Structure 1
Amino acid sequence: MSAAASQVRVRAARAGDAAGILALERSFPGDRMSVRSVRHFLRVPTASVRVAVAGGNIAGAVILLLRRNSRWARIYSVAVDPDYRGQGIGRRLIVAAEADARQRGCCGVALEVREDNVAARTLYDGLGYRIDAVLPDYYEDGAPGIRLRKPFSALV
């Protein structure tokens, strides 16, 4: 871990973090969350939102959703500020989300990722996520997605 990354702290998000989380969303070409969605996720018990903070700024965020009738948690969003990419922040956020899912009794985590997002797919693969389904025309621009899953029971 770089010296800069070691100065990054991952913590539970607060209501005041909404603007920083939304700023991260602007780095995506599409499929961005709205202000309303972010505020909703920050206040509902069926979501766990974590942020990575560096020098008082939001450097990254992860949103984990928990469904009432499912033991699988879902990573809804992972975003890292372009200035902080490549420093292990995404990995730290995902590991924190997995810990939240385990603590809440989930049996694993699922997520969707763009098929052409090689960096994210490499990260998820290194963390033990495996392809569960191919999702044609999944994103708003028509790009295909891939559903990945990581069962916790396989980590013994």
Structure 2
Amino acid sequence: MILRPAATADIDALVALEASFPAEDRFDRRTWRRLLSGHAATLVAAAPEAPDQLLGAAVMLYRRGLALARLYSITVAPAARGKGVARALMAACEADATARGARAVRLEVRSSNSSAIRLYEAGGYRVIATLESYYPDGEAALRMEKCLNAPSNGAP
């Protein structure tokens, strides 16, 4: 599997990855363009034999001066689920966050998304809050967080 930063040439493939999502959970082309040009890191996974066909993608959000990164989205193509793509993307996002000096990664996940919750828990995330009516359809979210071993930048 190849993991690399997403490029604007990937926008059609990124939109296609989310085709099976509920409409309110999908990013449109404009949002993808904004994510690819702002304070975000978008990583994609592809098979070496088909580098233009994405197996998955992950979006990390960063704010200047904040030692907390936000795992905003992980998407895996239906045919690639269960093959370690999400786990690899999550690890790459955590490495990116650590390299940027983040001390923790936080995320929100639908309370009904048991497979994602299991993935995050297995990766060391813990539930820190339940957010009632978080999503536009009224579903609750679990807020989860993982502490990272970020460099101390010389601090004791």
- How much identity, in percent, do the aligned residues show? 42
| Equivalent residue letter for 2:77 | D
TM-score of the two chains, using structure 2 as the length reference:
0.90
Q: Which residue of 2 aligns with 1:18?
A: 11
| Corresponding position: 1:36 with 2:30 | yes
SS in 1 for 2:138: coil
| Corresponding position: 1:127 with 2:120 | no
Alpha-carbon distance in structure 2 between the residues aligned to 1:27 and 1:61: 14
Alpha-carbon distance in structure 2 between the residues aligned to 1:32 and 1:139: 12
1:88 corresponds, among 78, 84, 91, to: 84
Q: CA RMSD in A?
A: 1.3
| Equivalent residue letter for 1:11 | R
Asked if structure 2 preserves the Cα contact closer than 8 Å seen for 1:131 and 1:148, the reply is yes
Alpha-carbon distance in structure 2 between the residues aligned to 1:17 and 1:53: 11
Alignment of 1:105-120 (within 5 A): 105-120=101-116
Q: Which residue of 2 aligns with 1:3?
A: none
Deviating above 6 A after TM superposition, structure 1's stretches of 4 or more consecutive aligned residues are none
Report the alpha carbon displacement of residue 26 of structure 1 after superposing the two structures with TM.
1.3
Alpha-carbon distance in structure 2 between the residues aligned to 1:27 and 1:90: 16
| Equivalent residue letter for 2:12 | A
- How many aligned positions are there? 146
| Corresponding position: 1:72 with 2:94 | no
Asked if structure 2 preserves the Cα contact closer than 8 Å seen for 1:27 and 1:81, the reply is no
Q: Which residue of 2 aligns with 1:58?
A: 54
SS in 2 for 1:26: coil
1:145 corresponds, among 116, 141, 147, to: 141
Report the alpha carbon displacement of residue 67 of structure 1 after superposing the two structures with TM.
1.1
CA deviation profile, 1:5-33 (whole Å, cap 9, x unmatched): xxx21111111011111111112124211
The runs of 5 or more residues in structure 1 that have no matched partner are: 1-7
SS in 1 for 2:124: coil
